[in-house]
Amino acid sequence: MTLKSERIKLNEGVYLNIVNEDKFKSNLLSYYLIRPLSKEEVTKNTLMSLVLKRGTKNYPNSIDIEKKLDELYGSNLSLGINKRGEKQVIRFTMEWAKSNYVDEDYDDEIIQILKEIVFNPALEDHKFLKRYVNQEKENLRRRIENKINDKDTYATERCIESMCKNERYSIYPLGYVEDLEEINESNLYEHYQYIVKTSPIEIFYVGHIDEKIIDSLKRSQEIPRDEIISMPEDVLIDSVQTKNIVVDELDVNQGKLVIGYRAGIHHNDRLYNPLILASDILGGGPNSKLFKNVREKESLAYYIGSSIYKYKSLMLISGGIEFEDFDKTVEIINEQLNELKDGKFTDEDISKSIKSIKTNTESIRDSIFLISEFFFSQLISADNRSLEQVLEDFNKVTKDEIIEAANEINIDTIYFMRNKTK
């Protein structure tokens, strides 16, 4: 069956997206609040989301919410905060068992609970509860400070932060410790009111479709709205003015190398799929040039691979290496990229990459959450293709297009995390 999404306008800047997929034993509903990445509000947006999850008017604390969800057959509530290009996306998701599996029609109740979590928070004197705000400030502080503990992710974030230092994309999506001090229960609630009135809101429902569910979803969206903010386009930079080398000296036993490249190929450009294949042939897995030459032939890396960052058209190559192998590893990576640009790869390399990418993309069908995420990504990319069309388009890519895309890849920043005693 073709996977596709139907979009219905419910209110100013509020849209319901419906994906009819009945193979799962659960239904899934997500609210996506979309904001431009902004240093001025990124910390408030994250803290606001954490406070909302703590309690509502009818379920004033997290224990009440959990107890109610347990009564509703273990329904699951989750929160996601990340960046998609130069947008900060806040996601509230509820997943629950289909009514026919539990012999009880409770879809409307679940829909109303999720709406209440987003739009009807627990308040005290027309403000957020002070204890919730203070507790979540401390939780967020620790979370931001502890990001350095995951060295692989931290190395990637540091490379992006350095190469995009004059762009919104450098902003850390969870915010900054130094911004927490000035936030209190009063100004955070004022900010929340502004956010829910002015943000684009995309609601995604994936699961069993009937008139009662659709009516419930439509009926639940009577929320006050002001003028909706416009969302700026992601800025793509294809020319590299100055090559940067950034070194962090930390207490680590293994070097973390991340090389950032710019391609400047928009995700709706004809060369975007060739760019994905170029990256996969270069460093997408055990058949890739980097794996074969850097890891297997030269034994220089514990792991190595490349990936494309869709919304900003960046390619990052990441590897774990010995401190003393930095120069040699960078040299071989450059050689392999140059070979890719010169077309020194085979038709078999292309077919293996297409098969790998299609297999990974096809696996979206196996997760109700990934289906929702896929169509949300398609929406904010202004890409109307179904999953089947996305898969089929990879078969149309030619070797010449891959070479053309590869030649748009230019090195920008080299980041290296090494031991401070070396």
> DSSP labels for 6-35?
EEEEEETTEEEEEEE--SSSEEEEEEEEEE
Q: What is the average pLDDT score of the chain?
A: 94
Angstrom CA distances, 178 to 98, 181, 183, 206, 276, stand at: 44, 7, 10, 39, 38
d(CA 207, CA 371): 10
Using N-to-C axis directions, what is the helix angle for 347-362 and 399-406, rounded to 10°? 80
Which of the listed CATH numbers 3.30.70.1450, 3.30.830.10, 3.10.20.520, 3.40.50.300 matches domain 244-419? 3.30.830.10
> Using DSSP, how many helices (H) and how many strands (E) does the chain show?
15, 11
Question: Which band of pLDDT confidence, cut at 50, 70 and 90, is reported for residue 284?
Answer: very high
d(CA 147, CA 374): 26
Q: For position 100, what pLDDT does the model report?
A: 82
Query: Of all residues in the chain, what percent carry a pLDDT higher than 90?
Result: 88
Instruction: Give the 3-state secondary structure percentages of the chain, helix then strand then coil, rounded to 5.
Output: 45, 25, 30
Question: Which band of pLDDT confidence, cut at 50, 70 and 90, is reported for residue 103?
Answer: confident
Q: For position 1, what pLDDT does the model report?
A: 66
Q: Rounded mean pLDDT of 154-169?
A: 95
d(CA 308, CA 317): 9
Quick one: tokens of 159?
Answer: 């490379």
Please tell me the total number of residues recorded for the chain in this structure: 422
CATH topology of domain 6-219: Cytochrome Bc1 Complex; Chain A, domain 1 (3.30.830)
Q: Mean pLDDT lowest for which of 190-194, 219-223, 252-256?
A: 219-223
Higher pLDDT among residues 253 and 219, named by residue: 253
d(CA 68, CA 297): 57
Using N-to-C axis directions, what is the helix angle for 326-341 and 399-406, rounded to 10°? 140
Question: Which band of pLDDT confidence, cut at 50, 70 and 90, is reported for residue 102?
Answer: confident
d(CA 20, CA 347): 38
Q: Rounded mean pLDDT of 20-40?
A: 96
Is residue 314 within 8 A of residue 308, CB to CB? The reply is yes
pLDDT at 186 over 80: yes
Q: For position 220, what pLDDT does the model report?
A: 55
Question: Which band of pLDDT confidence, cut at 50, 70 and 90, is reported for residue 19?
Answer: very high
Fold matches, 6-219 and 244-419: yes
Quick one: tokens of 278?
Answer: 């170029």
Q: For position 422, what pLDDT does the model report?
A: 47
Domain ranges of the chain: 6-219, 244-419
As a whole number of Å, the end-to-end CA separation of the chain is 57
pTM for the structure as a whole: 0.94
